[in-house]
Amino acid sequence: MGTSGKGGNHSLTMNAFARFLLRLFGWTLTQKDPGTRRYVLIFAPHTSNWDFIIGILAAWALGLKARWIGKSSLFECPLGPVFRFWGGIPIDRSRPGDMSKQLAERFAASDHLVLGIAPEGTRSFSDHWKSGFWHIAKAANVPVVMAYIDYPRKEVGMGASFVPSNDLEADFQQIQAFYADKRGRFPDKESTIRSRAESEKAA
């Protein structure tokens, strides 16, 4: 799809500038087309503040406009319009267990929605990943796209994807296989790729 006008020129300029910066710092950008404009995008491993900077540059370089979620009260403050402009989606957390349904409704009403989530939830070690991304994708019937950062190879980008099955643990095995050769800036801070249930079984 082409772009035109000032907005399109601005986007192309941002894409080119981001690609230039990544090359300048020695990073290679990769992208595997998921074949859809509606998906949940996960990003790992997340062990450093630098991940955010490199990840943002990669998103700009790919022309990716990922959205993110926050509690609804965050969007009621004076900065609410700014958070929305930056891609924020307000979620009503007073409706426990209903977040997946709320986001599934968002996906159903959108032709183009990329929801970015860092499933580790922390830059420090954890013995499991949060599985909210999987429940959201399953409820919305959209794929999970696995984005990554690999410091030894200085590679960042989007890789394989899958549509959630009825077996959370089997899907986590796919995720484990994909990220098996990707290392964060601080490998000792990488979280174990498994669900909380699997972590509790192993305890």
What sections of the chain are H helices per DSSP? 5-24, 50-62, 80-85, 99-108, 132-140, 168-179, 196-202
Give the pLDDT confidence score for residue 94 in this predicted structure.
Answer: 65
In a domain, 175, yes or no: yes
Return the pLDDT at 92. 73
pTM: 0.83
Residue-wise pLDDT tens digits, 70-129: 777 777 788 777 777 767 777 776 665 678 888 899 899 999 999 988 898 777 899 999
- What's residue 3's pLDDT? 41
Q: Collapse the DSSP code of 90 into the 3-class scheme (helix H, G, I; strand E, B; otherwise coil) and give the result.
A: strand
For 72-81, letters b (16+ CB in 10 Å) and e give eeebeeeebe
In a domain, 94, yes or no: yes
* Mean pLDDT, rounded, for 17-21: 94
pLDDT per residue as tens digits for the range 29-65: 999 999 999 999 999 999 998 998 898 899 889 988 8
| CB neighbours of residue 130 within 10 Å | 17
Q: Each residue of 134-190: pLDDT tens digit?
A: 999 999 999 999 999 999 999 999 999 999 999 999 999 999 999 999 999 999 999
Amino acid 1: pLDDT: 36
Is residue 33 in a domain?
A: yes
Per the structure, how many domains does the chain have? 1
Host domain of residue 78: 26-202
3-class secondary structure, 137: helix
- Sheet containing 88-91, strands listed edge to edge, beginning at the edge strand earlier in sequence: 28-31, 155-162, 144-150, 38-44, 113-117, 66-71, 88-91
Residue 152's contacts (CB-CB under 8 Å, 6 or more residues apart) are: 183
